[in-house]
Amino acid sequence: MDYFVSLGYPGLFISAFLSATLLPLSSEFVLSTLLIKGLSPSFLITTATVANVLGSMLNYALGYWASSAVIKKWLRISESDIRKAENRFKKYGLISLCFTWLPIIGDPLTVMAGLVKIHLGWFIVLVTAGKLIRYIVISQVAMSLN
């Protein structure tokens, strides 16, 4: 993570993008450290949000275009897990996208949103809102601890 911090804004962009994929990375440390170093909070929040949403869109695209066999292998889930996820998306609809900012479940939710063909416009709006709020809260906490 220190490497990402040393890159400044580009490092935050890379870490936020990658952390939105299924890779086990976190952008919160990079964001917090750069805030403490005095970089622009609004630019950091914007950078992290845009990059994280783009990473989520990559997950969405993988879900949208990949076969369920590939998704099963990639996410290590069964056919019944996919059907359950599809049913949850049908039951709860777009509201489930409001939780894509959550650790562990957020990234698979973005893949499943693509798999069940959630409208891309709604996907972008709801995922962006959730991730923006998350980064604002993280920034406020980091700055209050400094």
Between 119 and 103, residue with greater pLDDT: 119
- Residue 34 sits at φ, ψ, to 5 deg, of -65, -35
* In the chain, where the domains are located: 2-145
Q: Which residues are within 8 A (CB) of 43 and not within 5 positions of it... i.e. 6 or more apart?
A: 9
Predicted TM-score of the model (pTM): 0.89
pLDDT digits (tens, 9 = 90+) for 113-134: 998 889 999 999 999 999 999 9
